[in-house]
């Protein structure tokens, strides 16, 4: 009989020649289980998605309850649906900074697409500034925002009008000018291996945008919902964007995203032309019910403030001769090794020992640590012990040669 593994390889499209090939049976809380019954401690959250762990009871209950009411009824914005209005009200109340209108979509890339269209329409300009080594998704607009030509070359021609600047380079801010519709950036760059802003960089971007009338779009698709130890990273770094992008952990494991802006800006999307930006499944009632349960759960109790204690503990434990540094903003972490050759061995051996870590898109010396925020102190100690053993293993591989 043909194995599931072969069916997967034959019929499920692969995004790289090297899939992790973990055959999933179920997942609960901090753990994922494969079909052989092996337990894995999840230290990735499916790339910053499962911040409340897997199958959080509040999310499962919200999904089940919505399933019994209705699924899809009509495309975006035509029907008044309870999960959407409750979510938009609670989110904008939590934001409490003028970002009071929510356009629901399905994915992060779709939030990027909508935000760029809105910025062009609102400003009447078409130039966009994006940062080198940023990742904003893989649709054509998001692809144009990517600076690394080795990725985007195959998909040319690209959307015109995009210029790249280096993240954290204040001198480059002069490139934001009166022709710029928007600057899009992540408050903490994720895929370059966790690069937090330095020297009030985000505030300086904000000032420059205000000066020339460009919009500031903050992509909080990875940093949102407590990941950095604050509900949103822009609160941590003291800026308010014109357009905020959210997705990933927003749905607690269900697919949903949004771009959020002040109503006076968002209004531009609904007129001249009307229906100029629409989406069939944006704000799907079941996903939005899951998102509402997620937002209610992350904002109650001490889950978010506890992130900073957990971050500190990881820093204190991850000391090894092949660990060069640990960069972080809350529980969004990159562990940089002294030499690139160790990386594959550390990642593979950590997974072998039953803890899931992963690579970054644009950093070949660091691995990603982004555990569910619910991880407890004992699980952190266990995770770090496994990682340190993997570092020993990697070192020994080269001592043997
Ligand atoms: C910062 C950031 N923006 C946008 C995206 C794109 O999101 P999606 O994969 O849901 O389209 C990602 C995905 O990893 C991301 O990390």
> Best of 109, 116, 146, 167 to mutate for ligand 1, by most ligand atoms within 8 A of CB?
109
Separation CA 83–CA 85 (nearest Å): 6
- Asked if residue 268 lies in contact with residue 117, where contact means CB atoms within 8 angstroms, the answer is no
Distance 385 CA to ligand 1 centre (A): 30
Q: What is the DSSP letter of 342?
A: G
Q: What pLDDT is recorded for position 400?
A: 64
Q: What pLDDT is recorded for position 401?
A: 56
Start-to-end Cα distance in the chain: 41
Nearest CA to ligand 1 atom 3: 136
- Asked if residue 333 lies in contact with residue 374, where contact means CB atoms within 8 angstroms, the answer is no
Distance 138 CA to ligand 1 centre (A): 8
Distance 193 CA to ligand 1 centre (A): 15
List helix spans (H) across 224-375. 233-236, 263-266, 285-299, 303-317, 343-352
**Is 4-55+302-400's fold the same as 58-299's?**
no
Distance 399 CA to ligand 1 centre (A): 39
- Asked if residue 252 lies in contact with residue 48, where contact means CB atoms within 8 angstroms, the answer is no
Ligand 1 atom nearest residue 107's Cα: 10
Separation CA 165–CA 147 (nearest Å): 9
List the domain boundaries for the chain.
Answer: 4-55+302-400, 58-299
Q: What pLDDT is recorded for position 399?
A: 76
Helix axes 343-352, 377-400, angle to 10 degrees: 130
In 180-322 the beta strands, taken as DSSP E runs, fall at: 180-185, 215-219, 243-246, 257-261
Query: Which class in CATH covers the domain with range 4-55+302-400?
Result: alpha beta
Distance 145 CA to ligand 1 centre (A): 12
Nearest CA to ligand 1 atom 6: 137
pLDDT of the chain, 401 residues: tens digit per residue: 899 999 999 999 999 888 888 999 999 999 999 999 999 999 999 999 999 999 999 999 999 999 999 999 987 778 999 999 999 999 999 999 999 999 999 999 999 999 999 999 999 999 999 999 999 999 999 999 999 888 888 999 999 999 999 999 999 999 999 999 999 999 999 999 999 999 999 999 999 999 999 999 999 999 999 999 999 999 999 999 999 999 999 999 999 999 999 999 999 999 889 998 999 999 999 999 999 999 999 999 999 999 999 999 999 999 999 999 999 999 999 999 999 999 999 999 999 999 999 999 999 999 999 999 999 999 999 999 999 999 999 999 987 65
Ligand 1 pocket (Cβ < 6 Å) reads 47, 107-109, 112, 135-137, 186, 190, 219, 221-222, 247
CATH number belonging to the domain at 58-299, selected among 3.20.20.70, 3.40.640.10, 3.40.630.30, 3.10.180.10: 3.40.640.10
């Amino acid at each position: 009989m043909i194995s599931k593994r072969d069916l997967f390889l034959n019929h499920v499209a692969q995004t790289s020649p090297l899939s992790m090939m973990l055959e999933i049976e179920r997942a609960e809380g901090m753990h994922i289980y494969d079909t052989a019954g092996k337990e894995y401690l999840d230290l990735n959250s499916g790339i910053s998605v499962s911040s409340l762990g897997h199958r959080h009871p509040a999310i499962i209950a919200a999904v089940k309850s919505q399933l019994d009411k209705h699924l899809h009824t009509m495309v975006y914005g035509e029907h008044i649906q309870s999960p959407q209005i409750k979510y938009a009200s609670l989110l904008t109340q939590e934001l409490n900074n003028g970002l009071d209108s929510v356009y629901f979509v399905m994915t992060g890339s779709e939030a990027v697409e909508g935000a760029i269209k809105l910025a062009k329409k609102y400003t009447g300009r078409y130039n966009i500034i994006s940062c080198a080594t940023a990742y904003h998704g893989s649709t054509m607009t998001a692809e144009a925002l990517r600076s690394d030509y080795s990725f985007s070359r195959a998909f040319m021609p690209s959307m015109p009008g995009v210029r790249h600047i280096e993240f954290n380079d204040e001198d480059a801010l002069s490139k934001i000018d009166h022709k710029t519709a928007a600057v899009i950036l992540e408050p903490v760059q994720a895929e370059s291996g966790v690069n937090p802003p330095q020297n009030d960089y985000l505030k300086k971007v904000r000032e420059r945008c205000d000066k020339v009338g460009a919009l500031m779009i903050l992509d909080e698709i990875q940093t949102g919902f407590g990941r950095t130890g604050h509900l949103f990273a822009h609160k941590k770094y003291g800026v308010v964007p014109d357009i905020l992008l959210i997705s990933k952990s927003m749905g607690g494991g269900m697919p949903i995203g949004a771009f959020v802006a002040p109503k006076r800006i968002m209004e531009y999307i609904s007129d001249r032309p009307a229906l100029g930006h629409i989406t069939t499944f944006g704000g799907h009632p079941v996903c939005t019910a899951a998102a509402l349960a997620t937002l209610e759960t992350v904002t109650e109790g001490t889950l978010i403030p506890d992130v900073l204690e957990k971050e500190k503990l990881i820093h204190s434990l991850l000391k090894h001769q092949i660990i060069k540094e640990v960069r972080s903003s809350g529980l969004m972490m990159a562990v940089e090794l002294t030499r690139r050759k160790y990386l594959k061995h550390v990642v593979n051996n950590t997974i072998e020992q039953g803890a899931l870590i992963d690579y970054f898109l644009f950093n070949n010396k660091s691995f990603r640590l982004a555990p569910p925020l619910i991880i407890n102190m004992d699980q952190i100690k266990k995770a770090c012990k496994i990682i340190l053993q993997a570092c020993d293993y990697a070192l020994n591989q080269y001592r043997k040669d």
